[in-house]
Amino acid sequence: VIAPSVGIEASVDIPTSVVGETLTYTYDVTNTGDVELVDLDVDDSALGLIGSIASLAPGASESLEATSAASVTRTHDVTVSGTDALLASPVDGADSFGVTVHDPVVTITKTPSSPVVTPPDTLVTYTYRVENTGDVALSGLSVTDDLLGTVGSIASLAPGAWEELTDSATLAQDTTNVGSVTGTYGTFGTSFYGQVGDTESEFVDVIAPAIQLTKTADASVVLPDTPVTYTYRVENTGETGLTAID
């Protein structure tokens, strides 16, 4: 009397991961019976055929591996099937494991109090809206500006939550500056830990109005009581139109 049987243990190296992370799957197949097994195929419901094992002696084990990029949270149902070498009776085994995939994302939106200001040296206030647009909590968020330096910090943001910070600068000329946010997700010291970030630039048009008057005479030396004609040249030397010029 023979008792053919087969067992399989399947696992993933990073059970909680982020989108795009490379995952390695391991499939350990063991002949748990008392007769040689042949033509063993290992299948994964999410990945398809993993591979084949030509034969396994009683008590022997063999491992197969596969890799893929993390995409969605899902359960992997794994099966191994083959036959015994004596009677060609079918044998099979099964296992399952889950992979949780998160998509940590932070978004910063930077808005000036006015996109166009005049005159130069006008105070402009910037608003920095930081939003957790991913699906996992973020912490230790820091907002900076390449012109203003450190804007502020946000302790944590749940998925879908947002917070605004403000800072101001006096602008003497057309200015483009970049707001940045960085933060972390997960637990430090574990496989599920990393950094997120985002940037956004904003342009403020600083208009400098100016006018120049040039006065000339048609003669520089004249006799008494000689008519002199003066010409007044008015020029707009600034960056915007002028009206009601007296």
Tokens at 158, concatenated: 């749940």
Q: Across-strand partners of 157?
A: 138
Q: What is the pLDDT of residue 246?
A: 80
DSSP 46: T
Distance CA 7, CA 167 (A): 63
Strands 90-102 and 74-84: antiparallel
Distance CA 62, CA 12 (A): 16
pLDDT above 90 (res 116): yes
pLDDT average, residue stretch 121-129:
97
User: pLDDT band at 211, cuts 50/70/90?
Assistant: confident
* CB-based contacts of 93, cutoff 8 Å, min separation 6: 5, 6, 7, 8, 29, 32, 79, 80
DSSP 70: -
In 172-236, beta strands by DSSP E = 175-186, 193-206, 211-217, 230-236
Question: Is there a contact between 133 and 107 (Cβ–Cβ < 8 Å)?
Answer: yes
Number of H helices, E strands in the chain: 0, 18
pLDDT average, residue stretch 34-44:
98
Q: What is the pLDDT of residue 165?
A: 98
Interval 169-197: pLDDT, tens = 999 999 999 999 999 999 999 989 999 99
| Residue positions counted in the chain | 246
Q: What is the pLDDT of residue 65?
A: 98
Tokens at 170, concatenated: 């006096």
Interval 137-173: pLDDT, tens = 999 999 999 999 999 999 999 999 999 999 999 999 9
User: pLDDT band at 111, cuts 50/70/90?
Assistant: very high
pTM of the model: 0.78
pLDDT average, residue stretch 61-69:
98
pLDDT average, residue stretch 219-227:
91
DSSP 112: E
